[in-house]
Amino acid sequence: MTTETLTGVSLAGHDLHLSFGANKVLRGVSIDVAAGSTTTVIGPSGSGKSTLLRVLNRLHEPEQGDILLDGKSVLKDDPDALRQRIGMVFQQFNLFPHRTVLDNVALGPWKLKGQSKEAAREVALEQLDKVGLKEKAGSRPGNLSGGQQQRVAIARALAMTPQVMFFDEATSALDPELVKGVLALMADLATGGMTMVVVTHEMGFARSVSDRVLFMDHGSAVEVGPPAALFDDPETDRLKRFLSEVL
């Protein structure tokens, strides 16, 4: 990464509710992420972490509650416009296998942002440089390691100049020796001024990089606070039990 400062904006979700049929997946979740800060979301499988991210960028519309970006409600805006402001990185990289790494990163700025192909490629090269993969620009994704592919996926998200970045178990599919490089890149983004919401099982990252940790269980935000408070002094039995299983 260069020392260029990223410009994340604040993100908040207030009292978000969502059900799938009779399954209440979000039961009034609130999250408050200050501009340039990182909140890590932890919790057992099925607790609603991915759904929370999907509601925050309106892939699912909340049944109740509000979402604010930079202090303004976005629920009446065009969902596509919102999604352009929020970059997303998933467990699966979802790169186009038959396109070059460069084109994978350039497609968004070109097709979604309407930049010229040349300008989009320039942006893409810059981002690939930042994630340390400029020399792979002409390669196909299949010739890269999983860790490199995930860094390309991060470059692809950054090429859209997002104001917030979401990571949903971005390192869960990687071989153990490749996890560190991706986490280091995420840590660089976090300290570089990006606003981030990170769903992860990497408790080391949660503790050392995040400004706040939010513990979810059964669709509720059970505890939220600075990492030291949650990890060293959990208040609820639910968080104590969770930590005893993962630490």
Name the residue among 128, 163, 167, 168 with its Cα closest to residue 148. 128
Instruction: Supply the minimum distance, in Å, between the C-beta of residue 49 and Mg ion.
Output: 5
Q: Which residue number, 59 or 75, has a Cβ lying nearer to ligand ADP?
A: 59
Of 37, 40, 47, 171, the residue at the interface with ligand ADP (CB under 6 A) is: 47
Interface of this chain with Mg ion, residues 26 to 85, rule: CB under 5 A: 49-50
Instruction: Supply the minimum distance, in Å, between the C-beta of residue 200 and Mg ion.
Output: 10
Count residues binding ligand ADP (CB under 6 A). 11
The site map against Mg ion for 86-115 (x = CB under 5 A) is ------------------------------
Residues in the chain: 247
Of 2, 3, 22, 45, the residue at the interface with ligand ADP (CB under 6 A) is: 45
Residue 200 found at the interface with Mg ion (CB under 5 A):
no
Rg (CA), the chain: 18
- Give the pairing of strands 38-42 and 212-217: parallel
Residue 51 found at the interface with ligand ADP (CB under 6 A):
yes
Q: Which residue number, 117 or 241, has a Cβ lying nearer to ligand ADP?
A: 241
Q: What are the distances in angstroms from CA 113 to CA 18, 85, 110?
A: 31, 11, 6
Interface of this chain with ligand ADP, residues 161 to 200, rule: CB under 6 A: none
Residue 22 found at the interface with ligand ADP (CB under 6 A):
no
Name the residue among 219, 223, 215, 218 with its Cα closest to residue 246. 215
In degrees rounded to 5, what are phi and psi of residue 159? -65, -20
Residue 20 found at the interface with ligand ADP (CB under 6 A):
yes
Residue 131 found at the interface with ligand ADP (CB under 6 A):
no
Choose the one of Mg ion, ligand ADP, none that binds residue 23, judging by a C-beta under 5 to 8 angstroms depending on kind.
ligand ADP
Choose the one of ligand ADP, Mg ion, none that binds residue 48, judging by a C-beta under 5 to 8 angstroms depending on kind.
ligand ADP
Handedness of CA 160, 57, 51, 219 (dihedral sign): positive
Largest alpha-carbon pair distance within the chain? 56
d(CA 213, CA 40): 5
Q: Which residue number, 49 or 212, has a Cβ lying nearer to Mg ion?
A: 49
Choose the one of Mg ion, ligand ADP, none that binds residue 20, judging by a C-beta under 5 to 8 angstroms depending on kind.
ligand ADP
Choose the one of ligand ADP, Mg ion, none that binds residue 163, judging by a C-beta under 5 to 8 angstroms depending on kind.
none
Q: List residues near Mg ion by CB under 5 A.
A: 49-50
